[in-house]
Structure 1
């Protein structure tokens, strides 16, 4: 018997049935009451496992009918070797784009931010925190620091109408980018912002951009790992 928490054992049981094809798309899964008896656990434990799989897009609840296996959801995709405006990406997929500005402020660079932007401690820096949505579902949490000397009007922008990427591209033409990508265990703030389920993976893209020889911005871009992927194409 696995030492994993009971809800994870139930979740793995359901996931194995889906992955093996025993429960195909459209199949009505075993009821919560039956799973409660099968695993000798509380209804709450079973419900937690099913909620996680619903959040990950593998199951769908239909009121008064039951819970059914979903078709795999196509992941949103961005190019790794390029920078695109996320609003355009979303609309090009035929989805509705919206955003929510969480914070937009002038700050002084601490040691961590000074290192990210290549500036002295206490240098004036602009900070923005924005959630980007695709069809009302959060697809990216963007934390961005901008060198105030190179984009002095950054805080005057309405970032529900224009994205930081679009504004900076227009005012500080891109000459170089630096990307690092990693899978992380998201903290509570990121999980809440992206509506991540209990153990849903998170994809973090760390990006810095230059205009000519000027390091203009540094951004942390968080994505739900079950709904997003990055790709690259290299011509040889």
Structure 2
């Protein structure tokens, strides 16, 4: 195949304890998927899950033991952190049942859904897409992906975020409104999932603003830590 211009590099995330990389196809994100965060954002009850997307090359891969540097994005004065459990899909499909969903999971990682909250808020008021608020460059920092069979991920694993040494977010993943299997079931009704897809599964309460120079340290118990500095 002859390309008119050189093709872009493949976005990829390191695999934990390996020299391998996980190629990224698409990034799906689940909105308001923790009980207390849903209340924080004005939702009530167990609403059906909804999804938005980020470009594959929005990932900012952060190898184990390092601190990633995320440029503070332009056109915002209100950048927010959202710590999340990330699911990596290894086997594609559509209309996947919750009972079969975990067979499609290749691995898990710690991620941040960084959000230009002022732009997102304005888009909401105008009934416009969230793309500028959610899908900008480097908006998806992510740590190494742990293969599912190696991940020590308990059903009530702790998820947390510390900013400059001060706790900001903290919960357990069993507080998700829709768990991983249910999320895959719902998402696969709308899209044919592909190997290489990443699913950011939502954030707990405590989201807030960060500034240039801030140090973020996120963790999901059993998956290590994700360290990011805003530059």
TM-score bracket, normalised by the shorter chain, equals under 0.3
Largest Rg, 1 or 2: 1
**TM-score relative to the length of structure 2:** 0.26
Q: Which has the higher helix share?
A: 1
When normalised by structure 1's length, the TM-score is: 0.26
